[in-house]
Chain A
Amino acid sequence: MKGNEAIAEAAIQAGCRHYFGYPITPQTEVAAYMAKRMPKIGGCFLQAESEIAAINMVYGVASAGKRVMTSSSSPGISLKGEGISYMAGANLPALVVNVQRGGPGLGGIQPSQSDYNQATRGGAHGDFHLLVLAPASVQEMADLTMLGFDLADKYRMTAMILADGTMGQMMEPVEIHPREIPECDKSWALTGTKMQRERNIINSLSMDPYDLERMNLERYERYAAVERDEVRYESYRMDDAEICVVAFGIAARVAKNAINEARKQGVKVGLIRPITLWPFPKAPLKAAAETCKSFITVELNMGQMVDDVRLATECKRPIITCNRTGGVIPSAAEVYNAIMNAQKGGQAE
């Protein structure tokens, strides 16, 4: 299966019956797959007139308490920003998929991780977060899509799959297991009062500053629960590691190859791969700062996640950055060289 197809099929298996999108390379197969499958299972596929229209359709279906998804790639996600912020303000669960391409601007169509800051800082105006999941295989494209729907419902917030063009386009065997959808209270949804209850209101507008502050405080209580209970990461060959590589998505796969080569040379190096980018796995990195002498971050951007690593490690250890940008993927040799540089006691460039 292609990564983009895995996302689409997993969404359907997770009970998503509404998809709204607008084509953009390298994520168009998500929409193409939904266009084929949704009519056959009684679902709704709609190609909107723009990304902005699509995200507002997502707002509508989420308000009715149904599982709903949209997908795009970097420039298209920026267009969706306003809607994403409105959904945060209205506490609406949904899944937004970003299969990143090189930027800024229209950029290119090759893979990138340059929307890390945008995604992990909410992605638009206002005090809010998205729950950001970063797959590193086609299997995880499927698994994290299902998880994203569950967590979005549980915490009444929007979740984002932050993938990249490689993940979207590559093919790997995938197993998607049909599953029970966890029960979730959606008594807030707009389903019609049937004259049996008070009406529900979904809105992100509040003219009373104290009221708005109260809503933001309540939202951040939920965010605190997410930070406490939903951090996910992979720890690879970290048991005796003296050098800790931090990378997510496709960069983590490249890093693993480099780590295995360096291990053959006797270098004690391991990997911490954040799977949730928000909440960021601060605790394992803080712990690694106690045992490792240096860190290496590998990213397909100019160095964005590295700031979160600095915060998590409280700047206790030097960090060497290994970045490629514009759609270029760092090679295993480049990461290997960074590891050898760290081994020799090299400092951050």
Chain B
Amino acid sequence: MEDFKRIVLLSGHYGSGKTNIAVNLAMKLREEHERVAIADVDIVNPYFRTSDSRGELEHAGVRVICSAYAGSNVDVPALPQDVYAITDDRSLRAVIDVGGDDRGALALGRWRDAIVDEDDYEMLLVVNRFRPLTRDVPSTLEVMREIEFAANMRFTAIVNNSNLGVETTPEDVLHSMDYARALCEATGLPLRFTSAEERLIPALEGRIENLFPLKLQPKIQ
């Protein structure tokens, strides 16, 4: 898989798996880079946050940047001040986990100019074709354009994270490839990678290019 830019932004429809991919991507980047941070700038969802995996991340040496309120049950949209460390310190590798949909992407506005001016970033659209509001290419395009408009930034690639949770079969992932390719064609964007739970990887290896295994799974508290 091609090397990642200094900043990787993950955005998409809520529930598409952004946070799960962000956490796994940060862990992978840490294997290759000394200084890696993950920032949770979700202002939409009070549940299922990066901080749920804080223990694993910090143990691996990944700096976790998230609002003091994230996962605290205090249901207020708050942004962490330390996100500026990512745009200020260019020796840092960073994954930014953006909140769902256009409302979540709105928060990016705060750092947008710094990220675009430096021009060492990629912005990935995470999609799951089994989510009801991104069930086909037209509905996914709609969500994508709303996010781009709110963020005032363009996506650079697609991440296919199509899954049915614990019931996902290798065939489900394989069948989702037509959707992912059609989406790439409609947008002119490359398919950055296809992510799948680690248990599915042996059955998929050799059949899908650029597979990304998800070792850490969301925690159910």
Contact = CB atoms under 8 A, between A and B. Distances in A.
Nearest to B131: A1
Interface residues of B, number: 15
Main DSSP-derived SS at the B contact region: loop
B132 A9 contact: yes
B182 interface: no
B198 to A, nearest CB: 19
A300 to B, nearest CB: 14
B165 interface: yes
Q: Top 7 closest A-B pairs, CB basis?
A: A173-B164, A25-B75, A109-B75, A173-B167, A109-B73, A108-B73, A169-B47
Nearest to A36: B133
Contacts of B130: 173
A236 interface: no
A110 B164 CA distance: 24
Contacts of B167: 173
Contact of B132 (A5, A108, A169): A5
B165 A173 contact: yes
A328 to B, nearest CB: 10
A2 interface: yes
Interface in B125-180: 130-133, 164-165, 167
B73 A1 contact: no
Given A5-B133, A109-B73, 20 more contacts: A1-B132, A2-B15, A5-B132, A9-B132, A25-B75, A33-B132, A33-B133, A37-B133, A108-B73, A109-B75, A110-B73, A169-B47, A169-B48, A170-B220, A171-B15, A171-B165, A172-B165, A173-B130, A173-B164, A327-B73
A226 B98 CA distance: 48
B213 interface: no
Contacts of A327: 73
B89 to A, nearest CB: 34
Nearest to A33: B133
Interface in B178-214: none
B46 interface: yes
Nearest to B101: A32
B90 to A, nearest CB: 37
A109 B49 CA distance: 15
Interface in A143-164: none
B132 A25 contact: no
Interface in A70-112: 108-110
B214 to A, nearest CB: 15
